[in-house]
């Protein structure tokens, strides 16, 4: 889906659900990771994460658009547009928008684990960060450490 198609969908949802036009810009922003979309206060534009569309489909995308349009219309009217405001909660409930975006799996942090083995007693140490084996020794027997492997954890 292109930004132009998204723009048309946002304009249609705004007219159908809010009976008000959307007069600013809507676009995809693939750098969004922890949110489904965001409303930009300064420019009044809306940015949407494309991942929920791919993972969950059009219904989830429409719910996210309704959420962002609640921010948009309430802010322009000078009412409470923030998540904690009663105006926002009531309007979101009326239009059937989603409060939270479904998980898209994009938040997973890839970690690396380093395994060090003592050359003397065989004790294995697991560390998140690399260590200087010339500087550090085994805590049990003071033997030399050797890097035996590193694994990537998801």
111 or 143, greater pLDDT: 143
Specify whether the CB–CB gap between 30 and 36 falls below 8 A: no
Query: In which band, very low, low, confident or very high, does the pLDDT at 31 lie, cut at 50, 70 and 90?
Result: very high
Residue 60 annotated as catalytic:
no
Reduced DSSP (H G I as helix, E B as strand, rest coil) percent helix, strand, coil of the chain, to 5? 35, 20, 45
CATH of 3-95 given 3.30.1490.20, 3.30.70.2860, 3.30.2010.10, 3.40.50.300: 3.30.2010.10
Angstrom distances, CA of residue 32 to CA of 22, 36, 52, 66 = 22, 7, 11, 18
The residue from 5, 47, 60, 68 that is catalytic is 68
* Average per-residue pLDDT for the chain: 92
90-113 per-position pLDDT tens digit: 999 999 988 888 887 765 666 778
120-133 per-position pLDDT tens digit: 999 999 998 999 99
Q: Name the pTM for this structure.
A: 0.70
Q: Does residue 75 register a pLDDT over 60?
A: yes
Give the closest residue to 11 by CA, choosing from 97, 55, 72: 72
CA distance 131 to 133: 6
**Domain layout of the chain by residue ranges:** 3-95, 111-153
Query: In which band, very low, low, confident or very high, does the pLDDT at 39 lie, cut at 50, 70 and 90?
Result: very high
Q: Does residue 73 register a pLDDT over 60?
A: yes
């Amino acid at each position: 889906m292109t930004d132009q198609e998204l723009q048309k969908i946002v304009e249609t949802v705004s007219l159908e659900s809010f009976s008000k036009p959307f007069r600013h810009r809507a676009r995809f922003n693939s750098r969004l990771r922890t949110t489904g979309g965001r409303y930009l206060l300064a420019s009044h534009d809306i940015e949407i994460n494309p991942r929920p569309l791919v993972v969950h489909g059009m219904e989830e995308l429409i719910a996210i658009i309704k959420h962002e349009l609640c921010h948009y219309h309430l802010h322009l009217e000078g009412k409470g547009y923030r998540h904690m405001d009663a105006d926002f909660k009531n309007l979101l409930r009326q239009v059937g928008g989603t409060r939270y975006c479904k998980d898209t799996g994009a938040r997973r942090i890839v970690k690396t684990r380093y395994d060090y083995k003592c050359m003397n007693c065989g004790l294995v140490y697991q560390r998140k960060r690399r260590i200087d084996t010339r500087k550090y020794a085994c805590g049990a027997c003071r033997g030399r450490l050797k890097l035996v492997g590193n694994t990537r954890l998801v």
